[in-house]
Amino acid sequence: MKIAAASIGLTLAGIVYAHTALADGNNAIDPIPELKDIEKVAAEQEAAIRAQSEALEKAQQEKAAAEKAATEALEKQKAAKLAEEAQQKQVTPTPPAKPHKKKVTKKVAAKQPEKVSPWLEQERRYSYP
């Protein structure tokens, strides 16, 4: 029993010493030495993620600026084209159009031959040589 109590006392003393050493800022006793490596890798990954997100945001801003510039350029081209067309219309005025009158020709009805009975026509045919 004395041995068990002594081992428990030593264990408790070790734990208390380790906690007091960490609380004092003494890193001589580091319970997890791999923790520094993990924190270093996590910091590197976080920096890489930040850099990627900043690059993505910058690319999106550049894309929006390019789209805006393209839209403005198209509007300027359209305005220039409309101005050029308006100038051409002013330079070459079209003469006033004369109203086109359609010529109306009256159809003269041909005189209809007098109706002759077929029997008379037949007699005429035979009577004249």
Compute φ and ψ for 49, nearest 5 degrees: -65, -45
Q: What pLDDT does 32 receive?
A: 75
What span, in angstroms and rounded, lies between the C-alpha atoms of 8 and 47?
45
Per run of 10 residues, the mean pLDDT along the chain (length 129 residues) is 60 64 54 82 95 96 96 95 86 68 76 70 59
Q: What pLDDT does 107 receive?
A: 76
The label of the residue with tokens 């791999």 reads 34
Q: Which positions ≥6 away from 21 have C-beta within 8 Å?
A: 28, 29
Put simply, whether the predicted model's pTM sits higher than 0.75 gets the answer: no
Q: What pLDDT does 101 receive?
A: 78
Reduced to 3 states (helix: H, G, I; strand: E, B; else coil), residue 86 is helix
Q: What pLDDT does 112 receive?
A: 72
Amino acid at 20: T
Q: Which positions ≥6 away from 29 have C-beta within 8 Å?
A: 17, 18, 21, 22
